[in-house]
Amino acid sequence: MLRWILRLAPLFIALAGLTAVAGPPALTAAPEVPPLLLDALDKVAANFDRWAFTETRMMTDEHGVPQPETVVRFDPSKPYAEQYLPLKVNGKPPTGKQLKEFRQRGEKRGEKFAKQEAEGKVPGSELPRFGFNGGTASIDLTHATLASENADSVTFEVPLRNDGHGTLPVEKFQLFARVNRTTHAFENVALRVRSAFRVKLVVKVKSGEASIDFAPVAPEYDPAPVTMSGDATATVLFLKFGGGFEMKRTEFVRVKPYGERFGVKIGPMKALDF
């Protein structure tokens, strides 16, 4: 029953700066957005697609038993079809079919960026949207509020906004972003289930949480997302299911994005439309 929480992964990855585009970004938004939060997003965007890394995904079942891991090398400096290289899939060497699926994943990434450029948009500059339970939602920065603070960091609660399609219960989720006071960089981003809700009537999601931790990967650069983890519990017709996942990124190498292969950098990010 991890499928529901894995569908939230694009939201986390996007906010972590893995679906924004490289270039000298100047992420701007309405004055209501907390400046510290905006600075952290700027830093994330500035480093997008400039890190190659190895990602290891591990999952556990409802009893906490580890499942076979999947290991993928991601390199945004290579042609899109070659950016995802699976080294191990579910504990085994990748099959020909799986290699093809990862090539197609990279090609779709390139197609998405090309479409955004054709529409006059900066690829990846829009705030992420994610789909779940037949609906879509986006991050509502203009209504971010102070959740807590101490001498070292500030934590903001950032609401999700239902885009008006389907029945996504955005009120059932809480998104928190912790920013370091000194570096103005993210330390952690966490999404939690506030209260139980039903999916397709027969599935009741009882609890869930996913979290991204940021850490320095090179002294001269801003912290990068290094770990994503989460867990969930749900019931289906009174039967309980659950499990967890963890993704770790290692072996970071600074690279030049494939989109800059001709020496042309993508322009600043446009203002967010809220």
Residues 6+ apart with CB under 8 A from 171: 194
- For residues 182 and 154, give the distance between their C-alpha atoms in angstroms, rounded to a whole number: 10
Contact 196, 205 (CB under 8 A): yes
**Position 77, amino acid:** S
Instruction: Give the model's pLDDT for residue 127.
Output: 59
Residue 200 buriedness (CB in 10 A; 0-12 / 13-18 / 19+): exposed
- For residues 26 and 45, give the distance between their C-alpha atoms in angstroms, rounded to a whole number: 9
- For residues 70 and 235, give the distance between their C-alpha atoms in angstroms, rounded to a whole number: 27
Position 256 in a domain: no
Position 264 in a domain: no
Read off the pTM: 0.79
Position 235 in a domain: yes
Instruction: Give the model's pLDDT for residue 7.
Output: 47
**pLDDT higher than threshold 90 for residue 256:** yes
Helix (H) or strand (E) holding 11: helix 9-15
Chain-centre distance for alpha carbon 43: 15
Give the mean model confidence (pLDDT) for residues 84-110. Answer: 96
Instruction: Give the model's pLDDT for residue 236.
Output: 63
Instruction: Give the model's pLDDT for residue 185.
Output: 95
- For residues 146 and 201, give the distance between their C-alpha atoms in angstroms, rounded to a whole number: 35
- For residues 221 and 135, give the distance between their C-alpha atoms in angstroms, rounded to a whole number: 37
Give the mean model confidence (pLDDT) for residues 74-102. Answer: 96
Position 150 in a domain: yes
Residues 6+ apart with CB under 8 A from 10: 19, 128, 130
**pLDDT higher than threshold 70 for residue 219:** yes
Q: How many domains does the structure of the chain reveal?
A: 1
Position 16 in a domain: yes
Q: CA nearest 202: which of 17, 38, 29, 1?
A: 1
Position 273 in a domain: no
Instruction: Give the model's pLDDT for residue 124.
Output: 55
Q: CA nearest 186: which of 40, 42, 46, 50?
A: 40
pLDDT mean across residues, the chain? 78
More confident of the two residues 122 and 155: 155
More confident of the two residues 192 and 264: 192
Q: Give tens-digit pLDDT for 147-201.
A: 999 999 999 998 887 766 656 677 778 889 999 999 999 999 988 887 776 666 5
Position 268 in a domain: no
**pLDDT higher than threshold 80 for residue 87:** yes
Q: Give tens-digit pLDDT for 19-36.
A: 333 333 444 444 478 999
- For residues 82 and 91, give the distance between their C-alpha atoms in angstroms, rounded to a whole number: 21
Strands (E), 61-162: 70-74, 84-88, 129-132, 135-139, 145-149, 153-157, 160-162
Position 239 in a domain: yes
More confident of the two residues 221 and 245: 221
Q: Give tens-digit pLDDT for 48-83.
A: 889 999 999 998 877 778 889 999 999 999 999 999
Domain hosting residue 240, numbered range: 3-251
